[in-house]
C-alpha cells in the first residue's frame, strides 16, 4: 500500500510541516463536511481550507512557529487549539465539535453551502437529507428519488418502473454508486422510492454531465451516494409505518468512539395498506436492506464495510383471455470494503475500495419466465489525493470485470440466449488549482481500456468555476466511453425491462462528448437563480435492431445521437416559506444506420426522437414551516414522450422450394409507421403532505404525516403494449398517512 502511495508522493522541503486530521461531531462521532479550518499566526491568516469527504482536512507546507488552529461550522461552537509546529513535523490533529444551544432563528447560510436546488456547479448538484425532506412523499422520512425528479434535467417515467433518464441519457448510461459499490437498478418498482432511505444518507453528488476523471464507464451521468456512519457515542433508531412502506433504522457503538454500526430495513405494505385505501389492486412488492460498519482504526486510518440488498416484484399487465398476467422483478446484491489512510510521511490521503455487485431481472407469467437478464461485476479502485497550498492532485487506478447474460422469449418472440464477459482497466490523474480572481480549475485525463474490445481511450476532462460576491460562472467539458449497453423492447411504450449486452459491433465503444456552461446569481441571502445550458454528441450508440419481426432481441445496430438542452432553477428560502421552481428544456435525436433501413424508408439513415425525449419538464415545490406543522406541496408536469406505433400485421413465406400455401402459416411480421412518430399523453400530478413532530418522554420524537398523492386524480399512462394496445395507468388519487418514532 505504501509503495503505491510512494510512487506519486510529492517531495516536501525539510523545513515545511504538514497538518492534517478529521472533524467529527461530539454528539455521535459522525464526521462533518464543510467545516472551515483556518491557521493563524498572531492575527494573520496563514492557511485555510474546508473539511471534505469523510471530514478530512489537510494544510501542507507550514513553516515552523506557533499557530492557532480554528474550526468554525454553522450550528457548532468554534474550536481553537494552539499548536507549536517544528521543522518537518507531520501532525495529525483530530477535532471534535460541540453543537451550540443557540437557536439560529431566521439565519440560514446557503451561500457557503454546496447544497440547494439552485446550486448547480457545471452539472453537479449536491444533496443533503434536509433537502430531501421538503419534497412530498408517501413515506414519513421522504426518499432520495423524490428530490431527484425535481431536478430539471431528470426525466422519470412516473409512479412505476424505477427508471431515470438524465439529460437525454438512458438509465443504463447512468453510474450509480453507494459507498463505492455499483448499483445497477437503484430505484424501486414504485417510483416514490429508491434503494437509499433518507435515514442512511450523508450526502449525494449528482453529476448530470461533465463529471470528473474519477468516474468512468458511463456516458451520461453519475449519482454518487455516500451513507453516514452509525452513532459512536450511543444507541439510536427509528421505526415508521405508512400505507406504502414500513421499516426501521438502528445504529450505535460497537466500541465507543471507535467502531459503529448502522442498519436499515424497509418493506412495502401496499397490498395491505394503499390498496385498501383506494379499493383497487396495487400489485407491487419491494424491500431494501442496508448495513454498514465503520471504524477509526487509529488516528489516521478508517475502515468501513457496506452491504445492500433489494428485491422488487410487480405486475405490468393484469392478463386477459389470450395472455397470462405479466410480472416484472429484479434483485440487487452489492457489497463494498473501503479503507482510508493518511500516511504520516506525506501530505496524501489514500482510498482503497473493493466491491462486488449483481443484478438479476426477469419478466414473465406465472407459468413461464419469458425474459431474463443477469449482470454481475467485481471492482477494485484506488484513489489518491495529494494536498498542496493552492493545489490538490488526485489520481487513481481501477479494474473491473463484468459477466452479462440474457435469455429472451415471449409472444411473437424468437428465443435467444447470450452470455458474455467484459473487462475494464485504467487510471486517471486530475489536478485542481485555486487561482487568482476567484477561479477554481480542475483538469484531468482518464486512460480507459477495454481489453475485451481490444480498445482503449484517452478521456480529457475539464471543469472551471469562477466565484464573485453574488455571481458564479461554471464550465465543464469531457469525453466519456461505455462498453456495456442496456436494451429495452421498442414494442413497449414506457418499457421497464432491460437486457444487458456488450457493444461488440465492429469493436466500437459508445462515446459521449459533453459541453456545459452555467451561471448562478445570489440576489440576497434568500433568493438564488441559476441557468445552465448543455450539449452532448453521442457516437457509436447501439440500439435494438429494426426488424419486421415483432421480437425483442439483444442483436444491436449502430446509431449516432445528439442532445441539446437547458435547465432553469429558482430557489427562495425565508422562514417559514421555501419555494422552488425548476424547468428543463431538452431535445434528443438519434440517427440509426442499419443497412435494411433503406429498404423500408428509402434512405440510408433514419433520424428519430427516442422514447425518453421529454421536451418540457416543470416542477413547482413549496414548503411551509408553520410550527408545529410542516406543509409540503409539489406539482409536476412533463410533455408527452414519443413511442412507435404499429399499424398492423401481415405474413410472408420464403420462396426457397416447394410451398404448401394452404397449410403452411408462414411467418408473422409487423407493419410499423416510422419509429417513435407517436406521442403519449402529457404527465402531471399534484402531491400534498402535512406533518407534525412531537417530543415524547425519554428523548423520543413522534412524527405524524397525512397527505394525498395525485390530488386531482390525473390518469397518467404507465405502460402501453403497442401491438395489443393494452394500457396500464399509474397510481390514482391515494390518501396517505404515516407514523415515525425516533429515539436516542
Residues 380 and 309 in one domain: yes
Residues 326 and 391 in one domain: yes
Domain membership of residue 304 (yes or no) is yes
Residue 361: per-residue pLDDT: 87
Residue 67: per-residue pLDDT: 87
213 and 447 Cβ atoms separated by less than 8 Å:
no
Query: Alpha carbon of 46 to those of 38, 58, 66: distances in Å?
Result: 8, 13, 11
Residue 552: per-residue pLDDT: 58
Domain membership of residue 115 (yes or no) is no
Which residues span the domain enclosing 140? 124-227
What residue ranges of the chain have pLDDT lower than 70? Answer: 1-15, 101-118, 158, 160-162, 278, 316-325, 365-369, 409-417, 489-496, 504-507, 545-555, 648-672, 719, 721-725
Q: Which residue has the cell 458564479?
A: 472
Q: Which residue has the cell 422483478?
A: 329
169: domain CATH number is 2.170.130.10
Residues 6+ away with beta carbon under 8 Å from 306: 178, 179, 180, 181, 227, 290, 291, 292, 335, 336, 338
Residues 558 and 595 in one domain: yes
Domain termination site, one of 166, 197, 227: 227
What are the residues facing 352 on neighbouring strands?
Answer: 339, 382
Residue 292: per-residue pLDDT: 97
Three-state SS for 490-542 is CCEECCCCCEEEECCHHHCCCEEEEEEEEEEEECCCCEEEEEEEEEEEEEEEE
Domain membership of residue 686 (yes or no) is yes
Domain membership of residue 49 (yes or no) is yes
Residues 91 and 161 in one domain: no
434: domain CATH number is 2.40.170.20
Domain termination site, one of 227, 244, 275: 227
Residues 267 and 204 in one domain: no
Residues 441 and 489 in one domain: yes
Query: Alpha carbon of 280 to those of 270, 315, 461, 714, 734: distances in Å?
Result: 11, 13, 51, 16, 10
Over its C-alpha atoms, the chain yields an Rg (Å, rounded) of 27
SS3 at position 135? coil
Domain termination site, one of 197, 227, 257: 227
12 and 388 Cβ atoms separated by less than 8 Å:
no
The answer for 144, left when phi > 0, alpha when psi is -120 to 50, beta otherwise, is alpha
Between the CA atoms of 118, 224, 508 and 550, what dihedral angle is there, to the nearest 10 degrees? -80
In whole angstroms, give the CA distance from residue 510 to residue 453: 12
pTM above the 0.85 mark? yes
Residues 581 and 439 in one domain: yes
Residue 435: per-residue pLDDT: 84
Residues 153 and 170 in one domain: yes
Residues 166 and 275 in one domain: no
705 and 693 Cβ atoms separated by less than 8 Å:
no
Domain count, the chain: 3
Residue 269: per-residue pLDDT: 87
Strand pairing class (616-626; 629-638)? antiparallel
605 and 592 Cβ atoms separated by less than 8 Å:
yes
Residue 109: per-residue pLDDT: 33
Residue 87: per-residue pLDDT: 80
Between the CA atoms of 561, 497, 288 and 173, what dihedral angle is there, to the nearest 10 degrees? -10
Closest C-alpha among 290, 365, 375, 282 to residue 329: 365
476 and 444 Cβ atoms separated by less than 8 Å:
no
62: domain CATH number is 2.60.40.10
Residues 565 and 632 in one domain: yes
In whole angstroms, give the CA distance from residue 16 to residue 28: 35
Domain membership of residue 108 (yes or no) is no
Count of alpha carbons within 13 angstroms of residue 105, beta-carbon side: 2
Residues 71 and 157 in one domain: no
Domain membership of residue 523 (yes or no) is yes
Domain membership of residue 114 (yes or no) is no
Domain membership of residue 22 (yes or no) is yes
202 and 359 Cβ atoms separated by less than 8 Å:
no
**Tens-place pLDDT, residues 572-603:** 988 888 899 999 999 999 998 777 777 777 77
Residues 554 and 425 in one domain: yes
199 and 218 Cβ atoms separated by less than 8 Å:
no
Amino acid at each position: 500500500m505504501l509503495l503505491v502511495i510512494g510512487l506519486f508522493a510529492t517531495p516536501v522541503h525539510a523545513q515545511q510541516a504538514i497538518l492534517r486530521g478529521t472533524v467529527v461531531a461530539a454528539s455521535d462521532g459522525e464526521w462533518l463536511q464543510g467545516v472551515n479550518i483556518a491557521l493563524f499566526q498572531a492575527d494573520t491568516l496563514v492557511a485555510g481550507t474546508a473539511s471534505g469527504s469523510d471530514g478530512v482536512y489537510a494544510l501542507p507546507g507550514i513553516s515552523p512557529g506557533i499557530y492557532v488552529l480554528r474550526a468554525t461550522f454553522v450550528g457548532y461552537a468554534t474550536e481553537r487549539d494552539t499548536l507549536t509546529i517544528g521543522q518537518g513535523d507531520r501532525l495529525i490533529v483530530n477535532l471534535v465539535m460541540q453543537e451550540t444551544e443557540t437557536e439560529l432563528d431566521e439565519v440560514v447560510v446557503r451561500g457557503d453551502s454546496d447544497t440547494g436546488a439552485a446550486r448547480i456547479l457545471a452539472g453537479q448538484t449536491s444533496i443533503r437529507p434536509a433537502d430531501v425532506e421538503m419534497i412530498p412523499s408517501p413515506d414519513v422520512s421522504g426518499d432520495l428519488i423524490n428530490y431527484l425528479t425535481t431536478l430539471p434535467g431528470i426525466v422519470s417515467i412516473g409512479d412505476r418502473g424505477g427508471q431515470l433518464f438524465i439529460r437525454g441519457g438512458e438509465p443504463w448510461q447512468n453510474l450509480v454508486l453507494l459507498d463505492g459499490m455499483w448499483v445497477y437498478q437503484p430505484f424501486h418498482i414504485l417510483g416514490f422510492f429508491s434503494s437509499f432511505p433518507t435515514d442512511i444518507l450523508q450526502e449525494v453528488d449528482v453529476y448530470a454531465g461533465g463529471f470528473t476523471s474519477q468516474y468512468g464507464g458511463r456516458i451520461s451521468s453519475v449519482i454518487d451516494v455516500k451513507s453516514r456512519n452509525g452513532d459512536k457515542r450511543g444507541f439510536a433508531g427509528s421505526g415508521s409505518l405508512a400505507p406504502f412502506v414500513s421499516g426501521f433504522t438502528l445504529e450505535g457503538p460497537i466500541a465507543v468512539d471507535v467502531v459503529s454500526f448502522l442498519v436499515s430495513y424497509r418493506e412495502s405494505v401496499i397490498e395491505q395498506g394503499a390498496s385498501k385505501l383506494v379499493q383497487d389492486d396495487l400489485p407491487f412488492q419491494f424491500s431494501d436492506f442496508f448495513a454498514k460498519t465503520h471504524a477509526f482504526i487509529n488516528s489516521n486510518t478508517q475502515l468501513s464495510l457496506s452491504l445492500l440488498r433489494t428485491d422488487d416484484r410487480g405486475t405490468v399487465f393484469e392478463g386477459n383471455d389470450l395472455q397470462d398476467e405479466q410480472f416484472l422483478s429484479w434483485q440487487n446484491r452489492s457489497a463494498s470494503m473501503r479503507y482510508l489512510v493518511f500516511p504520516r510521511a506525506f501530505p496524501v490521503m489514500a482510498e482503497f475500495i473493493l466491491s462486488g455487485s449483481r443484478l438479476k431481472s426477469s419478466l414473465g407469467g406465472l407459468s413461464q419466465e419469458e425474459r431474463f437478464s443477469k449482470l454481475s461485476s467485481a471492482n477494485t479502485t484506488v484513489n489518491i489525493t495529494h494536498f498542496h497550498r493552492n493545489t490538490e492532485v488526485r489520481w487513481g487506478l481501477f479494474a473491473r470485470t463484468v459477466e452479462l447474460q440474457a435469455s429472451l422469449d415471449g409472444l411473437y418472440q424468437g428465443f435467444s440466449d447470450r452470455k458474455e464477459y467484459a473487462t475494464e482497466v485504467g487510471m486517471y490523474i486530475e489536478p485542481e488549482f485555486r487561482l487568482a480572481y476567484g477561479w477554481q480549475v480542475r483538469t484531468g485525463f482518464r486512460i480507459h481500456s477495454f481489453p475485451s474490445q481490444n480498445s482503449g481511450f484517452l478521456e480529457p476532462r475539464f471543469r472551471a468555476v469562477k466565484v464573485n460576491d453574488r455571481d458564479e460562472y461554471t464550465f465543464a467539458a469531457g469525453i466519456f466511453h461505455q462498453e456495456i449497453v442496456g436494451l429495452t423492447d421498442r414494442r413497449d411504450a414506457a418499457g421497464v425491462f432491460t437486457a444487458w449486452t456488450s457493444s461488440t459491433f465492429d469493436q466500437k465503444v459508445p462515446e459521449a462528448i459533453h459541453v456545459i456552461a452555467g451561471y448562478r446569481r445570489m440576489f440576497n441571502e434568500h433568493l438564488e437563480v441559476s441557468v445552465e445550458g448543455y450539449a452532448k454528441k453521442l457516437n457509436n450508440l447501439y440500439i435494438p435492431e429494426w426488424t419486421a419481426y415483432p421480437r425483442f432481441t439483444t442483436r444491436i445496430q449502430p446509431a449516432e445521437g445528439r442532445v441539446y438542452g437547458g435547465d432553469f432553477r429558482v430557489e427562495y428560502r425565508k422562514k417559514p416559506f421555501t419555494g422552488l421552481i425548476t424547468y428543463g428544456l431538452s431535445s434528443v435525436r438519434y440517427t440509426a444506420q442499419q443497412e435494411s433501413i433503406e429498404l423500408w424508408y428509402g434512405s440510408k439513415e433514419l433520424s428519430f426522437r427516442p422514447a425518453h425525449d421529454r421536451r418540457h419538464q416543470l416542477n413547482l415545490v413549496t414548503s411551509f414551516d408553520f410550527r408545529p406543522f410542516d406543509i409540503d406541496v409539489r406539482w409536476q408536469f412533463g410533455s408527452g414522450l414519443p413511442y412507435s406505433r404499429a399499424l398492423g400485421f401481415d405474413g410472408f413465406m420464403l420462396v426457397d422450394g416447394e410451398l404448401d400455401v394452404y397449410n403452411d402459416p408462414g411467418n408473422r411480421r409487423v407493419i410499423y409507421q416510422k419509429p417513435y412518430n407517436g406521442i403519449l399523453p402529457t404527465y402531471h400530478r399534484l402531491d400534498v403532505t402535512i406533518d407534525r413532530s412531537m417530543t415524547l418522554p425519554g428523548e423520543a420524537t413522534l412524527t405524524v404525516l397525512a397527505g394525498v398523492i395525485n390530488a386531482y386524480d390525473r390518469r397518467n399512462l404507465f405502460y402501453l403494449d403497442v401491438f395489443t394496445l393494452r394500457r396500464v395507468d399509474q397510481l390514482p388519487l391515494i390518501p396517505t398517512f404515516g407514523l415515525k418514532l425516533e429515539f436516542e
